[in-house]
């Protein structure tokens, strides 16, 4: 059906302009980043699923967040890596372009919804620790995750559908390394001012729908932390939310610059750099940001067990960590 409204059945991804040597360097760099991202997030998922000490809402959400990071980078990076060694432009079919854009936006929206839920989880843990187990029970956590995934995928159906209802007759060369919506709008012969405004409103709704509970939650969290009399108590409370807060700042600041702007047809270099942040840098950093004390402790115990299997002498005992959420 889309083919009846579009004047092209395939697009060409311009990728990264430059010399062949530069593209080979970029290929090696991005392949390394992609491998580390997959490895780091997979380790977090496995440890969260296996270790009984991590069977809590905080790490349940973290496991789903790591899954979303793997999906985000896997939607974009393999296509980008495949095109980097090519001497010419990379060809992508219309159907593949639609699928890539939809999955990229849907997974990103799901991630922001989940970050908002994690902010509320931090609020309950810090501000209502005695009622934490009652409020954040298993049924609540499952419904939060289901709602986040459903919201992410359902909210992006119309924006992607409307984008590919346009007629692309100016060119079929996308000046990016993936099917970037802003660059697709530049190829359209239609008047895109109205649809760009609607897409802007949707982006504002999607991002601020999760940003508002995050801001409210951290307002109460900071207020509660400042009232804790002991320094060690304040340190424990802050450490419980520091990783999530760092991820929120990096993720929201990047996507606010990339998507929440009335003019979607931004300069190509601007979009390329911001897209690299979202699809390469942030998924790479999150495993390190979210390697919390209990995850590190579980990994260290696993290393100890492996060490004891292959060596006769005992391995050095691990250091102890303070509890992440309780005991303020």
pLDDT in tens, 107-134: 999 998 999 999 999 899 888 888 888 9
Q: Is residue 325 part of a domain?
A: no
Which H helix or E strand runs over 13?
strand 10-13
**Whether residue 311 has pLDDT greater than 70:** no
Does 164 or 232 have the greater pLDDT score? 164
Distance between CA atoms of residues 28 and 23, nearest Å: 9
Q: What is the rounded average pLDDT of the residues 21-41?
A: 92
Q: Is residue 326 part of a domain?
A: no
Q: Is residue 316 part of a domain?
A: no
**Whether residue 213 has pLDDT greater than 80:** yes
Determine the pLDDT at residue 42. 92
Distances (CA, A) of 51 to 182, 221, 242, 305: 43, 28, 22, 13
Supply the pTM of this predicted model: 0.81
Distance between CA atoms of residues 263 and 24, nearest Å: 33
**Whether residue 328 has pLDDT greater than 60:** no
Q: What is the rounded average pLDDT of the residues 138-166?
A: 93
Q: Is residue 323 part of a domain?
A: no
Q: Is residue 315 part of a domain?
A: no
Does 143 or 270 have the greater pLDDT score? 143
Number of structural domains (the chain) is 1
The string of pLDDT tens digits covering residues 41-53 is 998 898 888 877 7
Q: Is residue 275 part of a domain?
A: yes
Summary mean pLDDT of the chain: 80
Determine the pLDDT at residue 241. 75
185: CB partners within 8 A, 6+ apart: 163, 166, 192, 195, 196, 264, 265
Determine the pLDDT at residue 302. 60
Res. 2 pLDDT band, cuts 50 70 90 = very low
CATH number assigned to the domain comprising residue 11: 1.20.1070.10
- With beta carbons less than 8 A apart as the criterion, state whether 22 and 183 touch: no
Q: What is the rounded average pLDDT of the residues 2-27?
A: 76
Determine the pLDDT at residue 196. 85
- Domain containing residue 187: 2-310
Q: What is the rounded average pLDDT of the residues 292-304?
A: 57
**Whether residue 322 has pLDDT greater than 60:** no
Distances (CA, A) of 198 to 107, 145, 153, 300: 20, 27, 18, 50
Q: Is residue 210 part of a domain?
A: yes
Q: Is residue 224 part of a domain?
A: yes
């Amino acid at each position: 059906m889309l083919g009846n409204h579009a004047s092209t059945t395939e697009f060409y991804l311009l990728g990264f302009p430059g010399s062949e040597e530069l593209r080979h360097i970029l290929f090696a760099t991005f392949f390394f980043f992609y491998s580390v991202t997959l490895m780091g997030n997979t380790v977090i998922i496995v440890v969260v699923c296996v270790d009984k000490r991590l069977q809590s809402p905080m790490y349940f959400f973290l496991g789903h967040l790591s899954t979303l990071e793997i999906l985000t980078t896997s939607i974009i990076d393999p296509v980008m890596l495949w095109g980097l060694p090519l001497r010419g432009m990379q060809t992508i079919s219309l159907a593949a372009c639609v699928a890539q854009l939809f999955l990229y936006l849907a997974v990103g929206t799901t991630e922001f919804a989940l970050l908002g839920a994690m902010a509320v989880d931090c609020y309950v843990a810090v501000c209502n620790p005695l009622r934490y187990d009652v409020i954040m029970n298993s049924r609540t956590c499952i419904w939060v995750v289901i709602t986040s995934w459903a919201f992410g995928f359902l909210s992006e159906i119309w924006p992607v559908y409307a984008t590919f209802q346009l007629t692309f007759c100016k060119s079929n060369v996308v000046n990016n390394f993936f099917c970037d919506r802003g660059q697709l709008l530049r190829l359209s012969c239609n008047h895109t001012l109205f649809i760009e405004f609607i897409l802007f409103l949707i982006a504002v709704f999607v991002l601020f729908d999760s940003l508002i509970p995050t801001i409210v939650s951290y307002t109460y969290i900071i207020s509660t932390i400042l009232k804790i009399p002991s320094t060690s108590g304040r340190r424990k409370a802050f450490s419980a939310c520091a990783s999530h807060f760092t991820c929120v700042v990096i993720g929201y600041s990047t996507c606010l610059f990339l998507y929440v702007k009335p003019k979607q047809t931004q300069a190509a270099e601007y979009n390329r750099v911001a897209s690299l942040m979202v699809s390469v840098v942030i998924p790479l950093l999150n495993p390190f940001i979210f390697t919390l004390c209990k995850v590190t402790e579980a990994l260290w115990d696993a290393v100890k067990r492996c060490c004891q299997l292959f060596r006769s002498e005992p391995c050095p005992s691990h250091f102890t960590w303070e509890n992440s959420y309780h005991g303020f």
